[in-house]
Structure 1
Amino acid sequence: MVAAHREPDLPHWVNRINQQRRHWRGQPLHFTDLDERAKLRATRFIGKLPLRCFTLISHKGNMINYRNVRAERAADLRVYSDDATSFTIEPRRKLWYSHMVLKALLERATEWCLARSHRDYGEPRPVAITIAQRGGFYLDRFKTYLEKDRRNLAAGTNTLPRNLAWPVVDLDLITTAPASNVAGLQLADIVSGSFSRAVDERRFHSCDTRFVANLGWRIARKGKGRRIAGWGVTGLPWNLWEANLSADQEKLFRMFGYDDEKLVRPGPILPED
């Protein structure tokens, strides 16, 4: 998240990072393209910028038993017959999952923006949201998903405990773009790549938390207690002990305030003597 008046600074910030890269030839900024020294420099630099970072970490394997049937049905495709008098349903269950995860991230980010907007301007002001283009994501379907959620909230029929901060959300201001064309998306890639490197043992064979540690105070905090867990850094499933995290993965979440309640599997309830 960055203030609107700072948006013109974003290309300059990205250029500052790129100028420190060895043999840089004008390619877009991408975490996986950086060597270790450049990653450390990039994250240290971002850790000093006037912005806020929100991260949601979820391994699909962790959510293997989780289903939201209503969301699955909302994502289903209707395939009509040639005469348009009947249709069949084709499930598109992978789509609802990305919608749910992105919505959970936006719930926290927009709530922060609402509070900051009141503080800076005395009123809610709309937020521009740009999502990096990728295969399998359909912006129109995601907007429909959000609109249904807003209607459910207005009707009192929503089932989830949180919602987007709708006073600052305008669906027309939610767009997609190639990350190579948007400096802000390239900075976001450094943040997400840092967390991936800190938690994805299967891919990297170890957890390196140096890069996320450099982000420091740019990770969003909430309330007087300056809480990060479940706010600036959110892990799925909600009870992280269900994910069977390794000791190194667990260390990452503890860095950002997760405690035994979320990380340690409850033991059996023993009968009283």
Structure 2
Amino acid sequence: MSDLTKPPAYYYIACIDEAGDPGIRRVRPIDPTGASEWLVLGCSLIQVRSEGDQVLWVRQILDKLEMKQQTVLHFRELDDWRKPLACQFLGSIKDVRCFAMLSNKKNMKGHGNIRAASRSEGIGIDQVFYNWCLRIILERVTDFVYRHSIRAYGVPRHVKIILGERGTHSYARATWYAQMLKDQSKAGTTYLSKRTIKWEVFDSRLIQVSQPQVNAGLQLADVVASSFFQGVDILPPTNFDTNNARLLKPRIAEKDGVFENFGVTFLPFKYYESDLRPEQIDLLEFYGFDRFRFHARR
């Protein structure tokens, strides 16, 4: 584990917010009064040199939406005509890269591995599930930062992680879990090691928790998370619409020209286990996912 010395300098900032909730004990539509069918994490990634610009970008978006008296951008509360304008503006900001992690939770209800992890670590299954989803997006964000910093600086540079505080998680637990994964990665003992958090650019002392209403970067991450949530969630009260998340495509991170399982990640990794409705696949197909893989083995 990291010691208590001064954390390393950081050259990137990744803000991560969420839409939906991590509850997996009761999940809609299996349970009529269960938690949301989806948990979506959205990330906005910038270089430190753009840190001060985030407030300006949010202000420009609010002005474009004719909300000059507002100071906080909250995507879910926007009128329907305003949402595509917000996404279009964010999609035009060249200094931002965005990531979305979409977890369909129907197959997670009562999941054996999650329950086992909960018992062994002494924490609730919802927290374990959130930690797992955070791992998935951090693997991709740190991979992007690692490769970008090697090109830009010739050496790996660290990224600061800011998590949107929602009052439903133990962020200390999440930080401990992320550091444990880093230690496992360095030791070569990571379970499910196809991808790992790039320890060269990650340090748990650079994880911070903030409230979205006071952090412009988290408000941009909320646009990502909420627009993708709206693009896959077909249950009321969500007004299902794939168009807004499509408008973010210019800013969605890609690897070797591919969005699937990098800038846009879907869980479960065995897509056919999700049992999605055809319209729920439309947005994923737009980002390069093969529709057939959601229907295989039925």
Please state which band the TM-score falls in when normalised by the shorter chain: 0.7 to 0.9
Percent sequence identity over aligned pairs: 32
1:260: how far off? Answer: 4.3
Are the structure 2 counterparts of residues 34 and 206 from structure 1 closer, same or farther at C-alpha, using a change threshold of 3 Å?
closer
Which of the residues 180, 191, 200 maps onto 1:159? 191
The RMSD of aligned alpha carbons is: 1.8
Give, in angstroms, the shift of residue 159 of structure 1. Answer: 1.4
Q: 2:132 aligns with which of 89, 100, 105?
A: 100
Residues in 1 aligned to 2:250 and 2:117: alpha-carbon distance in whole angstroms: 35
Structure 2 SS opposite 1:252: helix
Deviates more, 1:36-45 or 1:200-209: 200-209
What number of residue pairs does the alignment pair up? 251
User: How far 1:167 sits from its partner (Å)?
Assistant: 0.4
Where in structure 2 are the equivalents of 1:1-273 lying within 5 Å? 1-22=45-66, 24-50=68-94, 51-64=96-109, 66=111, 67-68=113-114, 71-73=117-119, 75-76=121-122, 91-161=123-193, 162-204=195-237, 207-223=240-256, 226-260=257-291, 262-266=293-297
- Cα distance in 2 between the residues matched to 1:74 and 1:25: 50
Does structure 1 retain, via aligned residues, the 8 Å contact 2:254–2:263?
Answer: yes
- Equivalent pair of 1:132/1:178 in contact (CA under 8 Å): yes
Q: C-alpha separation between the residues in 1 aligned to 2:77 and 2:197?
A: 34
Contact 2:230 2:238 in 1 (8 A): no
- Deviating more after overlay: 43-52 vs 53-62: 53-62
Deviation at 1:144, TM superposition (A): 1.3
User: What are the Cα deviations for residues 171-212 of structure 1, in whole angstroms up to 9, with x where unaligned?
Assistant: 111100000111000011111111011101013566311111
CA contact (8 A) 2:185 2:197 kept: no
Output the CA distance in 2 between the equivalents of 1:62 and 1:195.
20
What displacement does 1:96 show? 0.6
Secondary structure in 2 aligned to 1:100?
Answer: helix
Q: Secondary structure at the match of 2:296?
A: coil
Q: Which moved more, 1:109-118 or 1:134-143?
A: 134-143
Shift of 1:74: 5.1
Report the AA paired with residue 296 of structure 2. Answer: R
Q: Aligned partners of 1:47, 1:154: CA distance in 2, in Å? A: 35
What TM-score comes out, normalization by structure 2 length? Answer: 0.79
Residue of structure 2 equivalent to 1:80: none
Residue identity matched to 2:282: K
Q: Secondary structure at the match of 2:97?
A: coil
Structure 2 Cα separation of the partners of residues 60 and 230 of structure 1: 17
SS state at 1:251 partner: helix
212-221 or 107-116, larger mean C-alpha shift: 212-221
Once residues 141 and 67 of structure 2 are traced to their aligned partners in structure 1, the CA distance between those partners, rounded to angstroms, is 36
TM-score by structure 1 length?
Answer: 0.86
Q: Contact (CA 8 Å) 1:242, 1:265: kept in 2 or not? A: no
- CA separation in 1, counterparts of 2:217 and 2:210? 11
Alpha-carbon shift at residue 215 of structure 1 (Å): 0.8
**SS of the residue 1:143 aligns to:** helix
Residue pair 1:43, 1:211 contacting (<8 A) in 2 also: yes
Partner Cα distance (2:187, 2:220) in 1: 38
- Larger Rg belongs to: 1
Q: Which amino acid aligns with 1:254?
A: E
* 1:72-129 deviation per Cα after TM superposition (whole angstroms, max 9, x unaligned): 24541xxxxxxxxxxxxxx522211000001100100110000000010001111011
The alpha-carbon distance between structure 1 residues 190 and 134, as it changes in their structure 2 partners (threshold 3 A), is same
Which residue identity does 2:103 align to in structure 1?
A: S
